[in-house]
Amino acid sequence: MHALFEEAGKFLAGRILSEAESSAQIELDSGKRVKVKGAHILLKFEKPAPADLVREAQSVAAEIELPLAWEFAPEEEFGFADLARDYFSANATLAQQAGALFALYEAPHYFRRAGKGRFKKAPAEILQQALAAIEKKKAILAQIDEWAAALGRGECPQPIREQLYKILFKPDKNAPEYKAVVEASRATHKAPLDLLQQAGAIDSPYQFHWKRFLFENFPKGTGFPAVTAPQPPEDLPLAPVQAYSIDDSQTTEIDDALSVQGLGTGTVTLGIHIAAPGLAIVPGTPLDQLGRNRLSTVYMPGYKITMLPDEVVRIYTLDEGRANPAVSLYVTINEETLEITGTETKLERVPVAVNLRHDQLDHIVTEEWLSDPSVQVQNTPQPLLERREQLSFLHRLAKSLKAQREVVRGKPETFNRPDYNFRLSAARPPEGANTPSGGSAANAVASVGAGKSGNDGAEPTGREQVSITTRKRGAPLDLIVAEAAIVANSSWGQLLAEHGVPGIYRSQASLAPGVKVRMGTKALPHAGIGVKSYAWATSPLRRYVDLVNQWQIIACVRHGKTAALAAPFKPKDADLFSIISSFDGAYSAYNGYQAGMERFWTLQYLQQNEVTDIEATVFKEGPAGSFLVRADALPLVLPVLGAQNLPRGARVRVKLGEIDEITLDISGTVLERLDDPQDASDDGPVDEPEGDDDEAVAGPIAIAVDVNEAEAAGTDNRAP
């Protein structure tokens, strides 16, 4: 005796070995013996053999017309054998009964299951919906096949082009566009990014990076909704100073300016004046929400996305020729010893006499020029000459402040590498400009510049000519501004702590390896800078945490000992922790994009100037047996082969390999060693400005297309 039974959603047949009241032992054709509940046995039969019955039943099931069977089926619940007798004949064969069972089981849109071997026909309206869904699914599958075939031919269907960044980075794995890319990748044995690039889905490498960044960080675009720019309070007193800012030529968000009073009297007052949008922007308003959503200005070569609308920036930026609202820290200094004897914070309007641009003045304002009044430089601007004595004092003060911080740090700050600045232009530079002799970048950087990349109002296209300029860290003007900012941020951090007003601080427990800078609401020491506390507060036009801290500082100035009650953010305010968390993520993403775009334009520079080899310094072991080198004259880190036996700090000439503008990947091969092996030594750790990260080698783009779902066989290094 044989039996057909259901087990775990499958129909099996075998020989009955024994039967009990509620179960049976059945041997399958494979020899495996299973215990089957009596309720699961659907048919018992002597002939044919189990395998033959299953085979014949499957053939019968394939021939059953489901719409006709649905018409034959009764309205009430029925068994599969009942339908077989209605559909075929009253003497339906065993194979026909089993075939009806298989057909009913595989057609849930026509018949719902009501028990083992029992069914009930679906209502007509439900059936029509199910059939429509099936047809839709068939059409989608056909569309997927069509799109996959087009991709395989090197053509990109428009729906896939429109969903490109979603497919690559945040895919809906049930979407037909995603499935088409997976299928085409499997069929062509190509990595998804290569496949899409060859199909023309990517307009240009630059647009790929730009649109990816917008997709991930600005999905609604970078424009601002219409807002009314709030005007500053009219009752602010006018400060009796003539301040000046020191920034890059392309800086439009001028946050800070300086003033000096009392030179020659023995007591000097340094004014550190910070733009004060916090005097008018109110927490919780739509304008505040705009800043909180963006959290920071995004910088990149040739362009920037501002945190606040231009009309707001124009009101509060410290432009020359007008009195601007400011939060001012006045620092009283002993002119002879340079000891700070007191500080005072005021809310006022500060006349800004001039905006000095250090990329235009660094070659004039040298240590020699500042220390020796007899040194004259041709074409020195008059505003600079008028402030020579003040700048000389400020530079002397800055060096003293830096030395004091280094005592606290326990070691001196050493910035071995320069800052790099990028300038983009539509026209090609004059023949020979910034172009290394013999195709080498050893002396490629020609002019001096500094500061964040500017914004001329138009997005770059990726085809601009790029020039890369350098500025040595710690140049006099840079040192003056940096030390003034540290004084302000540390002083205001202490002010908040003394008044019991929470702020957003940056702290570092020690300079031990692996101890990172962290953000929090407590006034903790910052070992990297060498101060008791450090609260970012000097860039409120371009960093949201600075704006938050400015609100808290303003409360301290206006309310004194009761500031904790009046400040917008109270102790242990959950909003502060939320801001810190959001800012950390956004700031890291923005800095990562800036670093990526600087690498992109560095690679463009190599190609535009036909640079084939560079001079570089070995600094650590890299991936897959390679070593990492840092270019001596460009902001470029890359892996090289042939440096296995070279120590850290060895200088080498490197032949450059192929450039991949999508992954931002480039590698090289060591041609020769340039320094004397006897002179090479480990150059030790390099201090970075607070908040900066070391350059990283651009790795493979992290694509979210899981081609393994379709058993893709691509081996390209860009495959996920």
Give Cα separations from 138 to 70, 103, 111, 125, 237 (angstroms): 22, 20, 20, 20, 75
Distance CA 504, CA 333 (A): 27
pLDDT mean across residues, the chain:
87
CA 573 to chain centre: 27
The tokens describing 561, both together, are 């000992």
Distance CA 479, CA 476 (A): 5
Which pLDDT score is estimated for 443?
35
533 falls in which pLDDT band (50, 70, 90)?
very high
| Tokens 């970012």 belong to residue | 536
Is residue 349 a contact partner of residue 323, using CB atoms and an 8 Å limit?
yes
CA 404 to chain centre: 36
Beginning with the edge strand found earlier in the chain, give each strand of the sheet holding 41-45 in spatial order.
33-37, 23-28, 10-19, 2-7, 41-45
Would you say residue 694 has pLDDT above 70?
no
Whether residue 159 has a cis bond before it, omega within 30° of 0: no
The secondary structure of residue 277, as a DSSP letter, is: G
Is residue 646 a contact partner of residue 671, using CB atoms and an 8 Å limit?
no
Q: CA-based diameter of the chain, in Å?
A: 122
Would you say residue 717 has pLDDT above 50?
no
Which pLDDT score is estimated for 318?
95
H-only helix segments in 73-191: 80-87, 94-105, 124-152, 158-162, 164-169, 176-188
Which pLDDT score is estimated for 459?
83
Q: Helix, strand, or coil here: 710?
A: helix
H-only helix segments in 218-309: 286-294
Would you say residue 454 has pLDDT above 60?
no
Is residue 669 a contact partner of residue 656, using CB atoms and an 8 Å limit?
no
pLDDT tens figures, 192-225: 988 998 999 988 999 999 999 999 999 999 999 9
687 falls in which pLDDT band (50, 70, 90)?
very low
452 falls in which pLDDT band (50, 70, 90)?
very low
Q: Whose CA is closest to 641, among 623, 614, 659, 658?
A: 623
Distance CA 405, CA 136 (A): 70
Distance CA 409, CA 511 (A): 8
Would you say residue 695 has pLDDT above 70?
no
H or E stretch at 414: none
Lowest mean pLDDT among 10-24, 94-108, 340-354, 613-627: 613-627
pLDDT tens figures, 245-287: 999 888 889 999 999 999 999 999 999 999 999 999 999 999 9
Would you say residue 377 has pLDDT above 90?
no
The tokens describing 8, both together, are 């775990």
Would you say residue 473 has pLDDT above 80?
no
* Amino acid found at 506: R
Strands 668-673 and 637-641, by their bridges, are: parallel
Distance CA 223, CA 509 (A): 40
Give Cα separations from 223 to 208, 214, 336 (angstroms): 20, 12, 52
**pLDDT, average across residues 339-346:** 96
- Cβ neighbour number for residue 700 with a 10 Å cutoff: 17
Which pLDDT score is estimated for 145?
93
718 falls in which pLDDT band (50, 70, 90)?
very low
| Tokens 């790929």 belong to residue | 208
Q: Please give the residue that has the higher pLDDT: either 62 or 471.
A: 62
Question: Environment class of residue 496 by beta-carbon count within 10 Å: exposed (0-12), middle (13-18) or buried (19+)?
Answer: buried
Would you say residue 703 has pLDDT above 60?
yes
The tokens describing 245, both together, are 């800012």
Is residue 355 a contact partner of residue 320, using CB atoms and an 8 Å limit?
yes
Is residue 628 a contact partner of residue 334, using CB atoms and an 8 Å limit?
no
716 falls in which pLDDT band (50, 70, 90)?
very low
Q: Helix, strand, or coil here: 173?
A: coil
| Tokens 């699914």 belong to residue | 137
Q: Please give the residue that has the higher pLDDT: either 378 or 679.
A: 378
pLDDT tens figures, 403-415: 999 999 888 887 7
Would you say residue 661 has pLDDT above 70?
yes
Lowest mean pLDDT among 18-27, 439-448, 603-612, 659-668: 439-448
Would you say residue 696 has pLDDT above 50?
no
**pLDDT, average across residues 388-398:** 95
State percent of the chain over pLDDT 70. Answer: 90
Q: Whose CA is closest to 81, among 122, 124, 45?
A: 45
pLDDT tens figures, 344-368: 999 999 999 999 998 889 889 999 9
Lowest mean pLDDT among 120-129, 151-160, 235-244, 419-428: 419-428
In sequence order, which residues have a C-beta less than 8 Å from that of residue 298 and are 6 or more positions away? 217, 304, 305, 590, 593, 594
The tokens describing 166, both together, are 């979603």
The tokens describing 70, both together, are 């649905």
- Cβ neighbour number for residue 55 with a 10 Å cutoff: 13
Which pLDDT score is estimated for 692?
42
Q: Helix, strand, or coil here: 651?
A: strand
Is residue 466 a contact partner of residue 511, using CB atoms and an 8 Å limit?
no
Q: Whose CA is closest to 546, among 217, 297, 225, 247?
A: 297
Would you say residue 606 has pLDDT above 60?
yes
Which pLDDT score is estimated for 430?
44
Q: Whose CA is closest to 509, among 500, 499, 519, 517?
A: 517
Which pLDDT score is estimated for 72?
84
Give Cα separations from 260 to 48, 267, 343 (angstroms): 107, 11, 14
Distance CA 605, CA 597 (A): 12
Which pLDDT score is estimated for 442?
37
Please count the residues of the chain: 720
Which pLDDT score is estimated for 299?
92
pLDDT tens figures, 121-155: 999 999 999 889 888 889 999 999 999 999 999 99
Q: Whose CA is closest to 254, among 329, 345, 354, 343?
A: 354
- Cβ neighbour number for residue 321 with a 10 Å cutoff: 10
Which pLDDT score is estimated for 246?
93
The residues pairing with 333 across neighbouring beta strands, listed in sequence order, are 268, 340
**pLDDT, average across residues 632-655:** 91
pTM for this predicted structure: 0.79
pLDDT tens figures, 541-582: 999 999 999 999 999 999 999 999 999 999 889 999 999 999
Distance CA 264, CA 249 (A): 32
The secondary structure of residue 559, as a DSSP letter, is: H
